[in-house]
Amino acid sequence: MSDAPHTDTASAAEQLGRLLRQTREQNLLSIGDVSEHLKLPARQVEALENADFGKLPEPVFVRGFLRSYGRYLNLDESVLNDYLEQIAFQTQGIAPAAKKSAADNPAPMTYHQAPIRKPFPKWIIGVAALALIVGGVYLWQSKSHSDNQRQEAQNEQAAPAVLPPNLEGGNVQVLPMQQASDAAASAPEAAPAEQASAPAASGEADAAAGLSTAPGELAIKLRFRSFLTVTDKDGNMLISKIVPANSEHRYSGNGPYHVRIGFARGSSVSYGGRDINVSEHMRDNKTAAFNTDGPAANP
C-alpha cells in the first residue's frame, strides 16, 4: 500500500510540489542546485513546486520533470508514483486550460526542444581548395605554352629571307642550254680550275665569318635572339637563358664545352682557334647542339 494521502486530484499537484520544496529545504538545496542537476531553468523548478503547469511544456514532459525531481531528492518511489498517477489524471482534465495559459505565456525553449544544427561539411572546403590548385596549374601551363609559341613566331619572322638570283648583274651571263653545253665541252680544262677556286672562296668566307679565339677559349656569336645553354666539362651550367640578337659570349678555363642554341641559324662558334660549323649540328632546322671537342670543330 502507498503511504501517500489520497486527496482529490485538484490538490495532488500542489501537495507533491510542497513535498518537493520541503524535502529540498531539508536537504539544504537551493533552486539553483536543483536547476543545475536537472538541466532545467530555475523558473521551471519553481513552477514544479508551485504546481503552476501553465509555465511548463506539455503534460508528458511535466510528468518526467516531476519524476526526475523526486528521484533526485530520494523520495519514496511508491509515494512518487501515486502522486504522478493522480496528477496525470488531473492534467487530462485541465489540459485545455493549461494549453491556453501556455499559449498566452509561452515558456522559453529548453535544451530538449532546441533545434539540431548540422555542421558545415568540411569536405566542401577541401574540394574548393583542390579546384583552385588545379586551376592555377592549368593557367600557368597555358601561359608557358603561349609564351613558347610567341617566341617561335618571333624567331621565324626574324629568319633571313631567301632572295631570288640577280640575273641582271654585269658578271652574270645567261646562255641557252645548247650553247652552255658547247661552252663546257670547248673548255674542259677551265672547269677544274673553277672547281678548285670554289673551295678556296668558301674557305675565305668561313675564315671571314669565324671568331678569333685563344687556346681553350669558346666564342659564340648569335645572329638572332635565341635561348643559349653552355655547360663546362664538369657539368656546371655557365649560361641558360634567352640572349639578344648579335650578342657575343666567351668562356675559357674549363673546356671542352657542350653548347645548345635554340635558334642557331646564322650563328658563329669558335673554340681554341678553330671554327665550328653549326649547320652540321642543326636539329629540326632550328636548334643546334654539339660538343666543342667533337668533329664539328674545323681547323
Q: What is the domain count for the chain? A: 2
Alpha helices in 159-189 (DSSP H): 177-186
Residue 102 belongs to a domain: no
User: Is the full-model pTM beyond 0.95?
Assistant: no
Helix then strand then coil, in percent of the chain rounded to 5, is: 50, 15, 35
CATH classification at residue 240: 2.60.40
Residue 91 belongs to a domain: no
Domain that holds residue 283: 217-291
Residue 254 belongs to a domain: yes
Residue 2 belongs to a domain: no
CATH classification at residue 17: 1.10.260.40
Residue 93: what pLDDT?
A: 45
Could you tell me if 296 and 272 are in contact, meaning their C-beta atoms sit under 8 angstroms apart? no
- For 81-131, write each residue's pLDDT tens digit: 888 888 765 444 444 444 444 445 554 544 444 455 667 788 899 999 999
Picking from 165, 41, 49, 180, the residue whose alpha carbon sits closest to that of residue 111 is: 41
Residue 134 belongs to a domain: no
- For 227-248, write each residue's pLDDT tens digit: 999 999 899 999 999 999 999 9
Residue 199 belongs to a domain: no
Mean pLDDT, rounded, of the chain: 75
